[in-house]
Amino acid sequence: CIVGLGYVGLPLVFSFASAGFKVIGLDNDKKKINSLKNNKSYINQFKDNKIKELNKTGFSCSAKFKIISTADVIIYCIPTPLNVHKEPDMKYIESSLNQSIPFLKKGQAVSLESTTYPGTTEEYFVKMAKGKGYNIGKDFFVIYSPEREDPGNNKYSVSNIPKVVS
């Protein structure tokens, strides 16, 4: 499940779907969900026909967080715009995580891919998992992988930029 279907999340959806994975998309923006369901793109790098091809792969999307209960891996591609202090604004990560908590289950892995400061994964995701009583690395897995998207760059994309996962 890719949470956040913006300029980072949607290319990641395409990458996983083209590799043969069943992909679920999740976004609070119902306009994005409706666009995708109606084979319409809202990102310049993808034409409508690419969305139509994506939908033929079995891709599904929703604005309801309950859908993550069906996923093995949840990848958060949430915006972290800079606040007035030039620090990442964590409200979108906090909101997405809080909406996710009731639907997370043992055996899942969660990955943060948002641009943020060191320690965010520990501060938010590990803390949440431990709060649910999960044993990290045994019955629940937490991952960080920095985003690999350069919007508008036609030479390099998520498919040909090495990805680091920890």
Residue whose C-alpha is closest to residue 72's, from 111, 115, 129, 19: 111
pLDDT at residue 51 in the model: 97
Decide: 33 and 67 in contact? Cβ < 8 Å. Answer: no
- Going by pLDDT thresholds of 50, 70 and 90, the confidence category of residue 44 is confident
Claim: this prediction has a pTM higher than 0.95: no
Counting beta carbons within 10 angstroms of the beta carbon of residue 119, is it exposed (0 to 12), middle (13 to 18) or buried (19 or more)? exposed
pLDDT tens, position by position, 61-119: 999 999 999 999 999 999 999 999 998 999 999 999 999 999 999 999 999 998 888 89
Query: What is d(CA 164, CA 100) in angstroms, rounded to the nearest whole number?
Result: 24
Q: Model confidence at 150, in pLDDT bands (50, 70, 90)?
A: low
